[in-house]
Amino acid sequence: MIEMHVAGIALDARNGHPIVVLNDSTKRRALPIWIGVAEAQAISKALDNQKPDRPMTHDLLLNVITALGYKIERIEINELASSTYFATIRLVLGDKRVDNLKAIDSRPSDAIALALRAKAPIFVSAQVVADGTIPADLEKDEEETKEFKKFIDNLKASDFKKIGNE
């Protein structure tokens, strides 16, 4: 699992649908997830630290979770199948003994909205990162590609040692 952070909400230029964008810690990979308008508003309000006068749906859910003695330990975006992302909200009750952990199936947008309110980390599986992320720093990627090609171009057979000949 790779920890990621919400970079923000964007709009798909083709159809105006909201997208939540997650970045890895290096800001080199971005994971765009298309979401609904209500979820985009909930995430935006959490990013802006806006507190409603009365609890909205995600605030209410977090209030219920904490009133029952649980804490959101983390959320995980753990699967991408047929262009649909799947997430899990990991709850912990009291100490972190195995029997005190609960996993709740969720849409990523709802899990992210909750994680932001609970100040819980967001993790993404390595497979989802491999399948769903796009480069976020093309300039750095191009620079590294050029450096690698230069390294390969300068390799000679004499640079390698045969195993057993030291």
Which residue in 91, 95, 105 sits closest to 62, CA to CA? Answer: 91
Is the pLDDT at 87 greater than 80? The verdict is: yes
Average of per-residue pLDDT values in the chain? 87
Confidence (pLDDT) at 158: 66
Confidence (pLDDT) at 52: 87
48: enclosing H helix or E strand: none
102 to 74, 79, 86, 89: CA distances (angstroms): 11, 18, 16, 8
CA distance 95 to 155: 54
Alpha helices of 30-159 — where are they, by DSSP H? 37-47, 57-67, 108-118, 126-132, 138-153
Confidence (pLDDT) at 98: 66
Q: Which two tokens stand for residue 139?
A: 């300039």
Count Cα atoms within 13 angstroms, Cβ side, for 78: 12
Mean pLDDT within 33-62 = 93
Mean pLDDT within 14-41 = 92
**pTM (two decimals):** 0.79
The pLDDT tens digits for 92-137 are 987 666 677 889 999 999 999 999 999 999 999 999 998 888 887 6
Q: Which CATH architecture has domain 2-155?
A: Roll (3.10)
Residue pair 142/95 in contact (Cβ under 8 Å)? The answer is no
